[in-house]
Structure 1
């Protein structure tokens, strides 16, 4: 009976979420985690925006994959490229948002993504991304969903993020609660301490356990509860793992599936959604 209720709860929470998620907006096409990327993804028909969040020195929730300026694509206010040797000093948690937004993160492009358009961009605030998505929803009538990853690492507690996951979580929760109905939100993290905290304090929020190769049974045991979503590298998925998840009340949403052949393989395996840098390569757009 308990398992049946769990199945019903998790699947009802996620039942309306579209299949395709634009990874960091659409990193393969526009600068990652930027307003131009999220805007382009929405214009393509993507209805689930996947993103990462960090905190600034003044407590602002910043949309960024790393808690520092990445030398692959970031530029100083002077226009000079950020060097690899400078990354650790450009710690977002030690910079105010006013300082952060003076750095460009798009006009150099990204050599790892040759199709990415080089355009000027800054690391946006979470509230601004949510405002864009909600404005698009009101304009078009389409439901827009948000898969928000708290970029947390126990090795970085008190260094590039707050010492307590509670402080990080409360800051993120406050921004989301002010902007969006929770039925359109998934909170994800690789840090299981973050997920445990959210499950305890805000148990109605849909949670996604991000993993590389951990089996779904191991995830449930380690977490101490069953998350709504099991989100592993697509390379680690097979039919047995997907079957286990579905029989135990979890949806399966792999990351980051970019090749068309791999996208089709995941669809054929029966995943519930997928995260991709290239939404234009998926047959699952509206």
Structure 2
């Protein structure tokens, strides 16, 4: 995949402010609208199927059983469920009384929506006829919860197998907060760009500048001048994907001087989008790809054409 200088407009989980996250209706909406990249997350079931979900298991705010009840927290991990079991849950409507529902009050419910496989997302893109859209696929694996997903080697093997079988290797990036999976991708599929996710703020930061964490596969920013861009470069990354609140113009410049692209997450307000574009980021991941198209267009950025498709 050519990592050219073009701006990368990414629909986060398919554009979850608009339609149910990580579902075929959301991805169809993003394709119809026109985005450069579908951003999505994957896990692996007990029978080895790669499914699309931000959580490592059933999300109590999204998944309803056959009787219409939302699953109890914390939700069963996919690694303990077969695909046919996963298929019995409806993820087309947010739990109405949840904080998630308040976060995205305009999301349109789509009753009867199931958790898709990665194969089905690839098939939807083929159906759309879109030969340009890319995939930014996040491995949902947590080094602190090894029982909730396959080990990194098994996870990466399953994921790369699906990508290769679909013939989409030239259009895929693999991203993760768990850098172990990225190192494996670099060894096993060196043509796939790796995207190093980082988070330094909030209640559960995954990255510190003065030490290695459980997430960084032994890489310590202190060994690289306390610089995340330099650490990611040393690890072999192609793209740095930080939380947008952690980013400054100086850091973007430093990353660019190292040959890294910078794609920030998750930016949902127009003024923040404009500021990120002005400081020189190479792409933005957003729950509001419709708004991002408006802001990017106003900044003179060429917008990707839509390819209308139904889920």
The normalised TM-score by structure 2 is 0.81
Aligned: 1:95 with 2:81:
yes
Partner of 1:9: none
Q: CA deviation at 1:183?
A: 2.3
Which stretch of structure 1 is more off in the superposition, 250-259 or 103-112? 103-112
Aligned: 1:243 with 2:232:
no
Partner of 2:38: 49
> After the TM superposition, which parts of structure 1 deviate over 4 Å for at least 4 consecutive aligned residues?
none
Whose helix proportion is higher, 1 or 2?
Answer: 1
5+ residue gaps, structure 1: 1-11
CA–CA distance in 2 between the matches of 1:226 and 1:57?
31
CA–CA distance in 2 between the matches of 1:248 and 1:223?
7
Q: CA deviation at 1:133?
A: 1.2
Partner of 1:179: 166
CA–CA distance in 2 between the matches of 1:218 and 1:252?
12
Structure 1 segment 117-156 matched on structure 2, within 5 A: 117-120=108-111, 121-136=113-128, 138=129, 142-156=131-145
Partner of 2:189: 202
1:218 counterpart (228, 232, 235): 228
Structure 1 segment 16-165 matched on structure 2, within 5 A: 18-84=7-73, 87-88=74-75, 90-108=76-94, 110-111=100-101, 112-120=103-111, 121-136=113-128, 138=129, 142-157=131-146, 159-162=147-150, 164-165=151-152
Equivalent residues, number: 267
Q: Is the 8 A contact 2:7 2:283 kept in 1?
A: yes
CA–CA distance in 2 between the matches of 1:71 and 1:221?
36
CA distance change for structure 1 residues 223 and 78 in 2, over 3 Å: closer, same or farther?
Answer: farther
Q: Is the 8 A contact 1:196 1:223 kept in 2?
A: no
Q: Is the 8 A contact 1:52 1:63 kept in 2?
A: yes
CA–CA distance in 2 between the matches of 1:18 and 1:244?
18
Q: Is the 8 A contact 1:49 1:147 kept in 2?
A: yes
CA–CA distance in 1 between the matches of 2:58 and 2:166?
27
Q: CA deviation at 1:182?
A: 2.1
Q: Is the 8 A contact 1:220 1:227 kept in 2?
A: no
Aligned residue for 1:262, secondary structure, equals helix
Q: CA deviation at 1:47?
A: 2.9
CA–CA distance in 1 between the matches of 2:6 and 2:45?
30
CA distance change for structure 1 residues 18 and 145 in 2, over 3 Å: closer, same or farther?
Answer: farther
Q: CA deviation at 1:13?
A: 3.0
Q: Is the 8 A contact 1:169 1:198 kept in 2?
A: yes
Q: Is the 8 A contact 1:226 1:249 kept in 2?
A: no
CA distance change for structure 1 residues 61 and 174 in 2, over 3 Å: closer, same or farther?
Answer: same
- What's the CA shift string for 1:38-62, capped at 9, x where partnerless? 0001111113100000000100000
CA–CA distance in 1 between the matches of 2:8 and 2:175?
17
Q: Is the 8 A contact 1:62 1:124 kept in 2?
A: yes
- What's the CA shift string for 1:146-178, capped at 9, x where partnerless? 000011111222x1111x311100000000111
CA–CA distance in 2 between the matches of 1:222 and 1:275?
19
CA–CA distance in 2 between the matches of 1:155 and 1:223?
25
Aligned: 1:167 with 2:154:
yes
